[in-house]
Structures are given as structure tokens and as C-alpha cells.
Structure 1
């Protein structure tokens, strides 16, 4: 299948998905969410010659994913949070091992994309930031997935500070699972054991873990409502539009 925003390859039960909107910082738009959801549906199906057991999600060398597409938002087309939340839920609960391979910058929704995966592997160039509060927003849809990984206070601190945290700090907080000099070598060191796990075992285990935590399903209505309310705020829209057109934050002259 051809994709507009992704490069997708299947081989030996492994699916590698590379975000391919480099000119837009790999920002999430409706088309990318739709295509990623389509890939996850293919990975979840059991009628393939070789069912997928591992999904690797990666970006470019300098940017994993810069978050939601602010240019589309400034133009009046804010990203519908429901398909994105469902996408992250599928990464978290689908019957395969999802791995975020992070190089460079992961911001806002890019953090959501990473922390919804089962494993986050990154090289030392990786940074993670939640910048939403700078614009009068907050990461409502990201937080259930981030809290599940780091705990409430560390996620709370990250959202309030809005600063990028380096790979070593992400590892210490639980946002990342492993850090190395070379992301590809780090992935290669994990695959030999992960590829020994069977699809039924992975599916049963992830279903159990989803029931154990419950936070994703429980938080969904509240997170979607908060997200939609924020993006209807005229001040928030002005802040985003000004940043897109002038590259100035709300308090800058």
C-alpha cells in the first residue's frame, strides 16, 4: 500500500513505520493519524501469512514528531482528538509489541505517540517536551498515557515546566526505557528476545495490562472534552496563529 505521510515496511513479523512529513517536523495531521490507524489495523489482523508481533515507530534523525500540526490549527482545522486518542490506545493495547524509536525532538503529541508505545528506545539526541501551556493549552489527551508511564507528579512537573528534557532525564523518569549512542543498535539489542514472544502470549498479556491500569479508557471522555474546549478558545487560536505566522510566543512583543 502507498502512504502519503509514512514509509511502511513489513518483514518477518516486524513492521517498521517511519513518519514521513519531514518538511512539517513530522507533525501529526488528520491524514497521518488516518494512515497510522490503517497500519495498526493491518498489524492487528490475524489473517496475514506472518502475523505482526513487533511494530517499530520512528521519525527522522532530528525530529521524531513535533506534535499536532499548528499550521492546520491556525487555518481553522484543529485536529480531532478522538482518532488520535484511539490511535494511541491501539498502540498501548494492540496485540503486538509497539516500540517508539526516538531520535531528536518529540514534542506535545509526539510525546503522546512515544509514551503510548510499550517500549521507548532513544539515542542521546532525543528530547521530550510538553509545550502546550505556553499557548494556553494543556496536554489533556497525552496525560493519561504519560501518567501511566511516569506517575502523576513527574508528568505534572513536565507539563508545568514546558521545557525539553534530555534522554537521560527521560530514562530516569520512566518516559524512556533505554538510551544508547545509536538508536538502531539499541533496537537490535532488544529484538532477539522480543521476537521469541508469540502473538497469542503478547495479546493476552497486553489485554491483562490494559485491564490492570484502566486509566486510558477511564480518562478518555474527560480528555477529549477538555481538548475540544481548549481549541474552541479564541485566545488559544490567536496564540497558535501568531506563532505560526510570526514565530512569536504569546508574551513576546
Structure 2
């Protein structure tokens, strides 16, 4: 049984909750390992089409467990590599439901999710510099969502952004009142869960696979991926349903 997270795999929207609120939901090797295992289990369940990731208590995650890192030259680096790779290869959208501050490694975990909905009182920051560290591992995630200048400003200053600033710079999709966070997140998750899981799986793979390509290779790759999408049974079903003015019945293939 996981010790640092809670997992709910009932229904089309699975949920993972970081569950160490007394420690501000730190991201350590044990948590990373349990997240990887939980995501693998949710990936294997065809009925789960979307995953929501949140934190217990009033904090999403304050990042690495500094007490566990003291006296060592290794943080949760190897497990973070595996975790972020697993998230991007899941083939199912992950929505971060950010219930409070997302800082340092917690911010990296949030940004590794496909979409982010946050409470409008949440704060965000790469605060590692305040304790003589640098956000090495999460750089790869943040620079794919935020421009170079803003990323460096955050990393060099360690300043925290408001939810409104996080939306403006692309870290967060939308910020909502705390009382509406659950409803807004589940509304979006359920809307996505009604779409073709096969098209989403191929689409997410193509999105992440192609983002670092040069323009011409990217276009040729996406052309080939479009052929794969058009060959899906779900594509035929979706077109037939649209023309027949009925709701599609997805087969997931």
C-alpha cells in the first residue's frame, strides 16, 4: 500500500492525492516511486481516461524534503526523471488541481501535468535559491511552459507568483475561487473523459514527441501521426456520429 499518496481509480476520472499534509506534501524518492507505480496502474485501467493530481491539506506541494537531503549529494533526481517521463508517456491527460502553494519541486510536478487549475489564493515559485540550491531537474518542465526571461527571473530571485501572475505567464490554465476548485476541475476532467481515448493517446504522444523538433521534421512527423489518427476506429465512429447527429460510442482504438 502507498504510504505517501492516496489513489482512487473508480470511474473515468482517477485521482492521486499527495498525502503528507503535515510535511507540506514533500516530493521525495518514496513519493516519486509511489507516483510512478500509481500512474502505471491507472494507465492499465481502460475505464480511467483522465487523472487528477492534488494535495491533501492546504498545500499542493512545497517541493523536496530538505531534511532528507541534508548531508547528501543526491536528491530524488533519478526518481524524478522516471516520474516526469512516466507522466508524459501516460497517454491520458493529467490535470493538476492545485489547492495551495506549489513550490520548488512541487511546482515542477505541477507543470509536468498536462493542465493546471488552481485556487486563486495559491502561490507558485522556484524557491530553491533561498537555501543555496538550483531547480535543476524541474528546469526541463518549466522552460516548456514559460519563456526564458520569466523562468530565469523566477529561478534567480526565488520570488513567488500569485495565481493571476501564474495564469498570465502560462504556468496555470485558470485560477478559480477555492470553493469552486473541485467543481471546475471535475467539470473539465469529465468533459475530456467523454472524448476519444485513442485520439487523446495518440495526440498526447505526438504533442510531446514533436515539441523539440525542427519545423520541417515536425511537420513530416505530424503528417504521419495524422495518418494514424485517421486510421482509428474511433475516428470513423466520430465522423459517422457527427454526420448522423448522434453521440459517438468510443472503442478506444
**Contact residue 6 and residue 17 of structure 1 kept, 8 A:** yes
Q: Pick one of 79, 82, 98 that aligns with 1:83.
A: 79
Partners of 2:121 and 2:19 lie apart in 1 by 19
Q: Pick one of 120, 140, 144 that aligns with 1:148.
A: 144
**Contact residue 53 and residue 95 of structure 2 kept, 8 A:** yes
Partners of 1:61 and 1:144 lie apart in 2 by 28
Q: Pick one of 177, 194, 197 that aligns with 1:196.
A: 194
- What corresponds to 2:69 in structure 1? 73
The normalised TM-score by structure 1 is: 0.79
Partners of 1:77 and 1:35 lie apart in 2 by 22
- What corresponds to 1:208 in structure 2? 206
- What corresponds to 1:231 in structure 2? none
The normalised TM-score by structure 2 is: 0.79
Q: Pick one of 116, 136, 160 that aligns with 2:112.
A: 116
- What corresponds to 1:18 in structure 2? 17
Residue 72 of structure 1 aligns to a residue whose secondary structure is helix
**Contact residue 102 and residue 126 of structure 1 kept, 8 A:** yes
How many pairs align?
211
Residue 137 of structure 2 aligns to a residue whose secondary structure is coil
Which of structures 1 and 2 has the bigger CA Rg? Answer: 2
Partners of 1:146 and 1:89 lie apart in 2 by 14
Runs of 4+ in 1 over 4 A off after TM superposition: none
Q: Pick one of 92, 101, 121 that aligns with 1:125.
A: 121
Partners of 1:179 and 1:134 lie apart in 2 by 26
**Contact residue 52 and residue 199 of structure 1 kept, 8 A:** no
Unpaired runs of 5+ in structure 2? Answer: 214-253
- What corresponds to 1:5 in structure 2? 4
Larger RCO, structures 1/2 (Cα 8 Å, 6+ apart): 1
Q: How does 1:102-113 map to 2 (within 5 A)?
A: 102-113=98-109
Partners of 1:119 and 1:82 lie apart in 2 by 24
Say which is worse superposed, 137-146 or 84-93, in terms of deviation.
84-93
The CA deviation at 1:212 is 1.6
The CA deviation at 1:12 is 1.7
1:76-126 CA distance string (max 9 Å, x none): 484230211221222233210001100111110000000000001001121
- What corresponds to 2:185 in structure 1? 187
**Contact residue 72 and residue 78 of structure 1 kept, 8 A:** no
Q: Pick one of 170, 175, 193 that aligns with 2:171.
A: 175
Closer, same or farther: CA 55–192 of 1 in aligned 2, 3 Å: closer
**Contact residue 101 and residue 120 of structure 1 kept, 8 A:** yes
Partners of 1:189 and 1:96 lie apart in 2 by 16
Unpaired runs of 5+ in structure 1? Answer: 216-253
Residue 197 of structure 1 aligns to a residue whose secondary structure is coil
Structure 1 residue 96 corresponds to structure 2 residue 84: no
The CA deviation at 1:162 is 0.5
RMSD: 1.7
